[in-house]
Amino acid sequence: MTYSVKEIFLTLQGEGGQAGRAAVFCRFTGCNLWTGREEDRAKAVCQFCDTDFIGTDGDGGGKFETADTLADAILSQWPENPLTSSTPGLVVFTGGEPLLQLDATLIDAMHKRGFSIAVESNGTVVAPAGIDWLCISPKAGSTLEQTSGTELKLVFPQPGLDPASLSKLDFKHFWLQPMDGPNQSTNIQAAIAYCMTHPQWGLSLQTHKLTGIP
Ligand SMILES: C[S@@+](CC[C@H](N)C(=O)[O-])C[C@H]1O[C@@H](n2cnc3c(N)ncnc32)[C@H](O)[C@@H]1O
Ligand SMILES: Nc1nc2[nH]cc(C(=O)O)c2c(=O)[nH]1
Ligand code: SF4
Ligand SMILES: [Mg+2]
């Protein structure tokens, strides 16, 4: 299988329950809820995306013909040897929609190299086995197929997707992440107010944007 990757970079996880941890991000090309082209945004299922996931031209991006070559490219960005260190490596597969490409072969290849695997997914595709930290971020107007995982991270507010409709799903952590965009400060205040009155939910800020790291 050939994997199409927009970019691979070392940073700190900015969001959710692993915020602050060093991680190699592998951003796959393509998504099933938006083409990624600005002229298509208004008619997309997901219209608020903050990410460029078109093509393979980012830092460390490209077409990888095997899981081993992609896994080696990810490993090469980690600052130590995870197989001899007491700390496992951490890779975050994101996109675009990573579950359109992430498969058992790549999961095995990362585990063999001493990595723990985190995924950021929109939940429209059932996740393969073996993911160590599964973050699902449901999108209004799409069908949620993956209804369990480690954390549920709802971009808030989303007309047509009330947090209460998700609160019984099988996740350990429930986050509201204020929608970035023209109404960001209003959205932050709305998320704070919701979390204060619905303690099952915590606030996830996009800390990488505050600090200016990728
Ligand atoms: C770019 S998406 C890629 C992974 C996957 N397609 C998804 O939507 O979960 C990564 C994370 O950013 C979130 N996100 C995207 N646009 C956002 C925005 N404008 N404000 C806040 N979070 C956003 C998504 O909900 C998701 O949790
Ligand atoms: N630092 C950092 N943390 C992130 N957490 C989720 C991200 C994503 O785009 O999936 C992301 C990202 O793009 N950068
Ligand atoms: S599902 Fe994720 S990658 Fe796709 S358009 Fe929405 S936020 Fe962006
Ligand atoms: Mg991002």
pLDDT single digits (tens) 15-32 = 999 999 999 999 999 999
Predicted pLDDT at 10: 99
In this prediction, residue 122 has a pLDDT band, given cuts at 50, 70 and 90, of very high
Specify the CATH number for 3-211; select among 3.20.20.70, 1.10.3720.10, 3.20.20.120, 3.40.50.720.
Answer: 3.20.20.70
pTM comes to 0.99
In this prediction, residue 212 has a pLDDT band, given cuts at 50, 70 and 90, of very high
Cα–Cα distance, 47 to 170 (Å, whole number): 26
Considering only CA atoms, which residue is closest to atom 2 of ligand 2?
A: 14
Tell whether 14 is in a known binding site.
yes
pLDDT single digits (tens) 29-81 = 999 999 999 999 999 999 999 999 999 999 999 999 999 999 999 999 999 99
Domain residue ranges in the chain: 3-211
pLDDT single digits (tens) 143-164 = 999 999 999 999 999 999 999 9
Q: What is the mean pLDDT of residues 194-205?
A: 99
Cα–Cα distance, 127 to 147 (Å, whole number): 10
Cα–Cα distance, 191 to 193 (Å, whole number): 5
Q: What is the mean pLDDT of residues 98-127?
A: 99
Predicted pLDDT at 123: 99
Residues with CB under 6 A from ligand 1: 31, 48-51, 94-95, 97, 120-122, 137, 153, 155, 177, 179-181
* 74 neighbors 8 (Cβ within 8 angstroms): yes
Query: Hey, which residues are catalytic here?
Result: 25, 31, 46, 49-51, 120, 208
Ligand 3 pocket residue status of 135, Cβ below 6 Å? no
- The tokens of 163 are what? 């947090």
Predicted pLDDT at 94: 99
Predicted pLDDT at 50: 98
Collect all residues with Cβ–Cβ distance below 8 Å to 190 and sequence separation of at least 6: 156, 157, 178
pLDDT single digits (tens) 167-177 = 999 999 999 99
Q: Looking at ligand 2, which atom is closest to the CA of residue 13?
A: 3
Considering only CA atoms, which residue is closest to atom 8 of ligand 3?
A: 49
Predicted pLDDT at 207: 98
Q: Looking at ligand 2, which atom is closest to the CA of residue 12?
A: 1
ipTM score assigned to the predicted complex? 0.99
Rounded distance from Cα 199 to ligand 3 centre (Å): 27
Q: What is the mean pLDDT of residues 7-11?
A: 99
**Exposure b/e, 141-167, CB count within 10 A at least 16 = b:** eeebebeebbbbbbbbbbeebebeebe
Ligand 3 pocket residue status of 46, Cβ below 6 Å? yes
